[in-house]
Amino acid sequence: MTKEHSERTYFSQSEAESKVGKRVQSREDFSDVPKGSTGFVISADQAAITNAPIDQSSGEYDVAIQWDLPTPLQIEVAQQELTNRLEIADENEITIERYSQRDRILEESDLLFAVQSGKPLVDWFTKDEYERYLDELVTGK
């Protein structure tokens, strides 16, 4: 049984714990994670519900996904691709389009620098977000 708060659906403890170790792939871009990114469910955590009494467990859980980070070589290739795209955008004669293209490319570049920090990128998902944004991948054993 799941409960809803602010139109969010949460996992039960057993549902969330059953997801730990599963490999997932993003269906669309969100939160600095490009569409098609893969990762693992690393934990099932009790959801922080703001209106739940402090001394009582809500029984509602979300899951944490640690995203696979690109290797240094992949980052270098991506940076070169961004540099090439930036040069092409600079050649665009239409000012508004040039600035729009540059902004998108610079945002992608910022993400690459964040990834280079070496810190894992972890996002938490409620049940409805998990079902809406992620696909579970079948892993061979």
Number of domains into which the chain is organized: 2
Report yes or no: 58 and 50 within 8 Å, Cβ to Cβ: no
- DSSP code string of the chain: ---EETTEE-B-HHHHHHHTT-EEEESS-BTTB-TT-EEEEEEEEE---TTS-TTS----EEEEEEEPPPPHHHHHHHHHHHHHHHHHHHT-S-HHHHHHHHHHHHHHHHHHHHHTT-PPEEEEE-HHHHHHHEEEEP---
pTM over 0.95: no
Instruction: Examine the domain organization and report whether 16 and 79 are in the same domain.
Output: no
Dmax over CA atoms of the chain, in Å, equals 62
Instruction: Examine the domain organization and report whether 10 and 74 are in the same domain.
Output: no
Structure tokens at 136: 């579970």
Instruction: Examine the domain organization and report whether 105 and 127 are in the same domain.
Output: no
Consecutive 10-residue runs of the chain (141 residues): their mean pLDDT?
A: 64 96 90 83 85 64 88 67 75 75 75 65 93 90 54
Instruction: Examine the domain organization and report whether 126 and 64 are in the same domain.
Output: yes
Q: Which domain holds residue 85?
A: 70-118
Instruction: Examine the domain organization and report whether 24 and 92 are in the same domain.
Output: no
In sequence order, the 6+-apart residues with CB closer than 8 A to the CB of 93 are none
pLDDT of residue 1: 44
pLDDT of residue 132: 94
